[in-house]
């Protein structure tokens, strides 16, 4: 596995090689990341990963400085999964000067749910993803990027960005990897105490219960949705969570559903100091 830090070195390594299949990460890798890497190995000619903790997508009170860095273990896992090129830029490599030009995503998609509770988050995501794409896919006529469905809204935002900028990149969604009890795998699960880890599965269960109630409502869902969501939040909060949202949306644009729409339920909540997100298509 080639490990490179600068954009120029990355382009030199990838230049003579074939179509990249790229997995961007912030490191502290778990089995979900490795599933993305294995999918990339299947899909592309050159499996590429990146590790970069992107300051632009953290709010001032969030965990940028304390976000776990597990470099040696990450490298071992990526190499074992078949990664051929690892791009690990330092901050000065990716942001050699203040990043005053930024990608501003469509507010109708990016300012709800995660965007409401983490303002500016998707601007940071889009800006770093565009920079990573320009580094990895420079000179290529096509490429693949693999993202996990756990970050459902992020996946949609990146797809829209690629579409609107007509980038020659296929965005591939990989299903959410879960622990045996149903908890979505996340780097932030490592923050949980033993008792919190046992409780954490309540988020996916709350989403499943809300999804079942939404399906049972049928065509009456638009009128009942807010009451169903409020009840779901109250039940989770009664267990000691602090819920940002538990919401039923239509898959196409994450707006309020109408009868007949394909649905997804999405949630974000804090358990102790740890904020977890999850979603289920129903």
Place of tokens 């078949």: 82
- Distance of CA 265 to CAs 166, 227, 256, 274, 279, Å? 29, 14, 11, 20, 5
83/34 Cα distance (integer angstroms): 10
Closest CA to 164 of 118, 128, 130, 125: 130
Q: Which of 5, 30, 33, 61 is catalytic?
A: 33
Closest CA to 30 of 114, 143, 165, 148: 148
143-148/169-174 β-pairing: parallel
33 is catalytic: yes
Catalytic amino acids?
A: 33
């Amino acid at each position: 596995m080639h490990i490179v830090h600068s954009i120029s070195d990355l382009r030199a390594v990838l230049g003579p090689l074939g179509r990249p299949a790229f997995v961007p990460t912030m490191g502290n890798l778990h089995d979900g990341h490795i599933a993305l890497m294995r999918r990339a190995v299947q899909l592309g000619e050159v499996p590429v990963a990146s590790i970069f903790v992107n300051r632009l997508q953290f709010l001032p009170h969030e965990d940028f400085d304390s976000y776990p860095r597990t470099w040696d273990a990450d490298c071992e896992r990526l190499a074992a999964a078949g990664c051929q090129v690892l791009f690990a830029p330092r901050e000065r490599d990716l942001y050699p000067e203040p990043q005053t030009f930024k990608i501003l995503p469509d507010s109708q998609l990016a300012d709800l749910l995660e965007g409401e509770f983490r303002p500016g988050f998707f601007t940071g995501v889009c800006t770093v993803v565009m920079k990573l794409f320009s580094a990895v896919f420079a000179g290529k006529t096509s490429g693949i990027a693999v993202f996990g469905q756990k970050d459902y809204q992020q996946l949609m935002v990146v797809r829209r960005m690629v579409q609107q900028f007509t980038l020659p990149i296929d965005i591939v969604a990989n299903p959410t990897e879960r622990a045996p009890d149903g908890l979505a795998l996340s780097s932030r699960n490592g923050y949980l105490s033993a008792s919190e880890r046992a409780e954490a599965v309540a988020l996916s269960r709350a989403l499943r219960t809300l999804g079942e109630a939404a399906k049972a409502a049928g065509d009456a869902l638009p009128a009942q949705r807010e009451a169903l969501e409020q009840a779901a939040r109250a039940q989770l909060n009664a267990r000691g969570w602090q819920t940002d949202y538990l919401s039923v949306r239509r898959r196409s644009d994450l707006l309020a559903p109408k009868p007949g729409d394909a649905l997804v339920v999405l949630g974000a909540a804090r358990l102790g100091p740890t904020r977890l997100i999850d979603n289920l298509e129903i």
